[in-house]
Amino acid sequence: MNSLRFPHPLVLLTGFILLAAALTYVLPAGEFIRHFDPATQRDLLVPGSYHPVPATPVGPLALLVALPKGLAAAAPVVFLIFLAGGAFTVVDQTGALRYGVDGLLRHAQGREVLVIPLVALLFATMGALENMGEEVIALVPVLLVLMRRLGYPSLTAVAASLGAAIVGAAFSPINPFQVVIAQKLAQLPAFSGWAFRTVFLAGALGIWIAGTLRHARRHQVAPDRAVADAEGADQAGRPGLVLLLVLVTFSVFAYGVVALKWDFEQMGALFFGLGVGAGLLGGRGLTGTAEGFVAGFRDMAFSGMLVGFAQAIFVVLGQGHVVDTIVRGLAAPLAHLPVALAALGMMAVHTALHLPVPSVSGQAVLTMPLLVPLSDLIGLSRQVTVLAYQYAAGLGDLLTPTNGALMATLAACGVRFDQWLRFAGRLYGLLLALGAAAVVLAIVVGL
């Protein structure tokens, strides 16, 4: 069983693109009428407005064109990956990352076991606050240095960062891209039910962190302590100054993302400034800094392409006008189920739908206008309808290969997708069961 490996990530995503194109020949083309909603600033579908449209199957040429279209649609994320990767390559070449990790481990001596929970809680907090995903890719160099110095495998870097962020986002009481959008669409007060969600957030993080620690300890090897002491001596304190610049940059980054609602363009600009400043402050000079950026661009090229390939799947389904057909087909059977089964059925629908629609906010916009009236019809609380969406769609990011952030982070860390599935699959099952229990309990207590 261990010898069975998944295809190369590009092969896997290309297979999904081909499958999406095949669906445009098999499924009937159809669309819902949409209207602009000022509350969410998004186009929402009108329930009951589904109608057939002329079939537009995606042919071979359009299929090939979908790849550059996917890259163009994902351009802000792709360029963030390049700029952040280049910046951290420059930072790493100054010796600042190793300097910082050494300092952290010296202070944590004898308490190294706390490093993973602290890192995971930090990323889970960012996931809960702003649905952190693609931004994690920028931090891969730091995480890899830290985990290698602890003797933990590269997979631990993914689990403690992106994995924790996904779990935090999925169970968050305040995630603006999941909870708040879905509550607005369901005409519920923003952040309502936060106390209930917070209890299950704590349980979910406990499961994920315990699983991450268990895997890290089982696969721990001798720590990599290959730090060039001579480099640190030559640079006469410069790594410390560069590290200070990194910390200031992350403070600005956190404030910009949470308070100023920065998009990927602003993040990319910040990381480019970090790279230039780190190169000059660390004594790399203009040419050395430029060469560092080029090396980073080269290392991040594969990760950036994966994001574009993942986006191409949605491009193909959209060109074939079958996304709304899939949504309607999955949602229709729920009307004939008892209340509790309908709620769990909604979780199953969101789990299945997250493969062709890997955006959690996009999934809310597609499904809430259909499922909220249905929940009213069968006597299911709207808050429970939001919970079913939040847990199932959010946790889908842990496993779906159409999640560009996941595939890119795995590639940047050198972790195969099948390795990740073996680790995350069991924890995903436990977390989904926890989410289902929360949905059933919410029905019982009348949330």
Backbone dihedral angles phi then psi of residue 379, each to the nearest 5 degrees: 85, 25
CA dihedral defined by 124, 127, 130, 133, rounded to 10 degrees? 140
Instruction: Kindly report the pTM of this predicted structure.
Output: 0.78
Q: Is residue 175 part of a domain?
A: yes
Q: Is residue 202 part of a domain?
A: yes
DSSP, collapsed to helix, strand or coil, labels residue 44 as strand
pLDDT over 70, % of the chain: 95
Q: Is residue 271 part of a domain?
A: yes
DSSP string, 69-121: HHHHHTHHHHHHHHHHHHHHHHHHHTTHHHHHHHHHHHHTTT-GGGHHHHHHH
**Cβ-contact 262, 129 below 8 angstroms:** no
Residue 261, CA distances (Å) to 166, 256, 433, 439 in order: 19, 6, 33, 31
- Looking at the predicted structure, is the pLDDT value of residue 97 above 80? no
Nearest of 98, 103, 91, 106 to residue 232 by alpha carbon: 98
Q: Is residue 2 part of a domain?
A: no
Q: Using 50, 70 and 90 to split pLDDT, how confident is the model at 5?
A: low
Amino acid identity of residue 217, one-letter, is: R
- Where do runs of H (alpha helix) occur along 320-415? 323-331, 339-353, 360-378, 382-396, 404-413
- Looking at the predicted structure, is the pLDDT value of residue 291 above 70? yes
Q: Is residue 1 part of a domain?
A: no
pLDDT digits (tens, 9 = 90+) for 135-176: 787 778 788 888 888 889 999 999 999 999 999 999 999 887
Nearest of 367, 338, 380 to residue 32 by alpha carbon: 367
- Looking at the predicted structure, is the pLDDT value of residue 45 above 80? no
Q: Is residue 4 part of a domain?
A: no
Please give the pLDDT value at position 332: 83
Q: What mean pLDDT is predicted for residues 82-99?
A: 84
Of the segments 261-275, 298-312, 426-440, which one has the largest average pLDDT value? 426-440
pLDDT digits (tens, 9 = 90+) for 388-407: 999 999 999 999 988 888 98
CA dihedral defined by 194, 196, 202, 208, rounded to 10 degrees? -100
- Which structural domain range is residue 255 located in? 9-445
Task: Note the residue count of the chain.
Answer: 447
The DSSP output letter for 334 is: G
Q: What mean pLDDT is predicted for residues 305-332?
A: 86
Q: Is residue 421 part of a domain?
A: yes
Instruction: Quickly tell me which residue has 């769609």 as its tokens.
Output: 393
The mean of the pLDDT values for the chain is 86
Please give the pLDDT value at position 327: 83
Total domains in the fold of the chain: 1
- Looking at the predicted structure, is the pLDDT value of residue 229 above 50? no
Please give the pLDDT value at position 232: 40
Q: Which two tokens stand for residue 342?
A: 């309908």
* Pick from 18-22, 77-81, 230-234, 336-340: least confident: 230-234
Q: Using 50, 70 and 90 to split pLDDT, how confident is the model at 228?
A: very low
Please give the pLDDT value at position 163: 95
Please give the pLDDT value at position 158: 95
Please give the pLDDT value at position 226: 56
Please give the pLDDT value at position 311: 83
Tell me which of 109 and 68 has the higher pLDDT: 68
Q: CA-based diameter of the chain, in Å?
A: 73
Q: Using 50, 70 and 90 to split pLDDT, how confident is the model at 234?
A: very low
Please give the pLDDT value at position 1: 40
Q: How far is CA 200 from the centre of its chain?
A: 20
* Pick from 55-59, 91-95, 254-258: least confident: 254-258
